[in-house]
Every structure is written in structure tokens, then in C-alpha cells.
């Protein structure tokens, strides 16, 4: 489904990660035929699932891109306790497995040179950015949508996040996300609240990943080399927009294109006035990967 309603047009399958865990996999073909301009691999946010990205996937398909996405561990139809994390590097390892699988798939289709672009939102943006900063696999470009580079923890919260994973790494609590601030579109908010595949859990180990990976990624910003488009919401109340602003200020201008949409909430592609967001994404992709 998209963020508001409707069935997915993706082909659904199961991907087996390196440790044997099953992850739900979504594949959307390009609209223009069997030879895409590239492949965009989507990584979703905390508590949600890839079915909410139907509208974005269709847009990308209309521009000639093949789109893949997956439900992260502990989310959607994938395995694992809701909001859990079996190991500190779990989400990065899974993304690496999916990148490898996508590259192998392109090779089997005689398309090994097709560009591979990561597009991550919120937690998914943090996962994708950390993946790139660690150079775990080569990718051709990165798109970040309201990435969770700064989750706005106070001093006591930082103490809890540093302490709890040592004592009870699998302890799961409410993630504190307020659906009112996802989007100004009431239909998006209502659909999110009614979605049985959305959850509000987060384990101590996952909270620690969020707290540590953001600052670690920001430290690498001055050395950034992968072509990156960073788009974030000025009115974001779910992650701290200062994290994106700090990354934009620190990263080399030849590698980064960035824009803050001052009046938007967290889910910039699901806002009532998402037209300028899609327009900037399309323009950047056309400059980097001409039709």
C-alpha cells in the first residue's frame, strides 16, 4: 500500500539474510521496459514497513528506475521481535546482503554496470548513511530523507541508552513516535495509526544503534565522497533536523546536494505538498543518471 491507502504493485518475495532470517522483499519494475536507468534500493524508517513506500516507488518507476525495498529486521513481514535487534550491526549486515543480492541479480541480467542508488528515510536514512560511511559496499549514489542523524536525546536519556543495552539488550519499550507529526495530510496519519504492520516498539540495542550511529556518521561528513542528495523537514518533530543541517554544513559541496523544506513534517514524500520534494529528487537523479 502507499502511505495513505491502496494495494502494492510490487512483486513480493522472501529474502534469506546471511544468518538465515527471512526478510520481506518488494520489487517494483520500471514503467518504461526491461532496461532500467538504475536500481533504487529503499530502506524504511522505525516502526513502519516497505508497503508504505508505494507512491515513491511508482514515481521512481515512472522515471525509469527499478525499485527494490525490504522490511527491516523486526519490522513489517520480516522476522524478529518487533523493534528488536539481534546484533549491533544487524541492520547494516542486512543492507549489505541486499546490496550483494541486487548486484548479483543485475549481473545475471547482463546489467552489471547499472547504477545502484540507496534511498533511506529516517532510521533507514541513518542505516544507509552509516553503511556508506563505513564503506561496507560500493554504491553509486545515496539519497537521504529526514535521516535520523540526531535523535535529540537529553542527558538522562543518553545515560539510559548507554546503560540498558548492557543489562537488558532485548528490553523493548514504546518508541515515542507521535503520528500527528508524520505529515500534514490527515489521511497519511490515519492510515499509519490503522496499519496493523506498524508497531511502536524499540529494543535497548536498537536505541543504542540510533544514539551511536548518528554522531559517528556526522564525524565522517567532512570526508564524504559518494554523490548524495540530502532532503529534510524544517518542522520535523520526530528526529532533530539539526543533524541534517550539521551534515549539510560539513560535507564537501562537490559530493552533497541538500535542501531543507522549512514547512514540512517528517515524512516529506508523504506531505500534502510533496511536489517540490519529488521535483528535486527527479532533477537530481536526471543530472546524475541521465535518461
DSSP 50: G
> Structural domain boundaries of the chain?
11-288
Other residues' Cβ atoms within 10 Å of the Cβ of residue 54 = 23
Residues 96-147 have pLDDT tens digits of 999 999 999 999 999 999 999 999 999 999 999 999 999 999 999 999 999 9
25 phi, psi to nearest 5 deg: -120, 135
Architecture of domain 11-288: 3-Layer(aba) Sandwich (3.40)
Dump pLDDT digits (tens) for 227-261.
999 999 999 999 999 999 999 999 999 999 999 99
Tell me the catalytic residues.
122, 236, 266
- The answer on pLDDT for 4 being more than 80 is no
- Could you report the per-residue pLDDT of 52-81, keeping only the tens digit for each? 999 999 999 999 999 999 999 999 999 999
Structural Rg of the chain based on CA atoms: 18
Residue 145 C-alpha cell reads as 530523507
Amino acid at each position: 500500500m502507499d502511505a495513505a491507502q491502496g494495494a502494492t504493485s510490487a512483486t513480493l518475495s522472501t529474502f534469506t539474510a546471511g544468518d538465515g532470517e527471512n526478510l520481506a522483499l518488494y520489487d517494483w519494475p520500471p514503467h518504461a521496459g526491461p532496461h532500467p536507468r538504475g536500481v533504487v534500493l529503499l530502506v524504511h524508517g522505525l516502526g513502519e514497513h516497505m508497503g508504505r513506500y508505494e507512491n515513491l516507488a511508482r514515481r521512481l518507476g515512472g522515471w525509469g528506475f527499478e525499485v527494490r525495498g525490504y522490511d527491516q529486521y523486526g519490522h513489517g513481514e520480516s522476522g524478529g521481535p518487533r523493534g528488536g535487534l539481534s546484533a549491533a550491526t544487524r541492520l547494516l549486515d542486512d543492507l549489505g546482503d541486499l546490496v550483494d543480492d541486487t548486484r548479483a541479480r543485475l549481473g545475471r541480467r547482463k546489467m552489471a554496470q547499472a547504477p545502484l542508488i540507496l534511498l533511506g528515510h529516517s532510521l533507514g536514512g541513518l542505516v544507509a548513511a552509516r553503511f556508506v560511511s563505513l564503506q561496507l559496499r560500493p554504491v553509486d549514489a545515496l539519497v537521504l530523507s529526514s535521516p535520523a542523524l540526531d535523535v535529540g536525546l537529553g542527558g538522562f536519556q543518553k545515560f539510559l541508552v548507554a546503560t540498558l543495552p548492557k543489562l537488558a539488550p532485548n528490553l523493548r519499550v514504546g518508541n515515542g513516535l507521535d503520528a500527528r507529526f508524520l505529515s500534514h495530510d490527515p489521511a497519511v496519519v490515519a492510515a499509519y495509526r490503522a496499519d496493523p504492520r506498524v508497531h511502536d516498539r524499540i529494543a535497548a540495542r536498537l536505541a543504542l544503534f540510533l544514539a551511536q550511529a548518528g554522531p559517528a556518521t556526522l564525524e565522517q561528513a567532512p570526508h564524504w565522497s559518494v554523490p548524495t542528495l540530502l532532503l529534510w523537514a524544517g518542522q520535523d518533530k520526530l528526529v532533530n533536523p539539526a543533524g541534517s543541517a550539521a551534515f549539510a554544513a560539513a560535507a564537501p559541496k562537490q559530493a552533497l546536494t541538500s535542501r531543507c523544506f522549512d514547512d514540512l513534517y517528517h515524512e516529506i514524500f508523504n506531505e500534502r505538498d510533496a511536489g517540490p520534494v519529488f521535483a528535486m529528487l527527479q532533477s537530481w537523479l536526471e543530472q546524475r543518471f541521465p535518461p
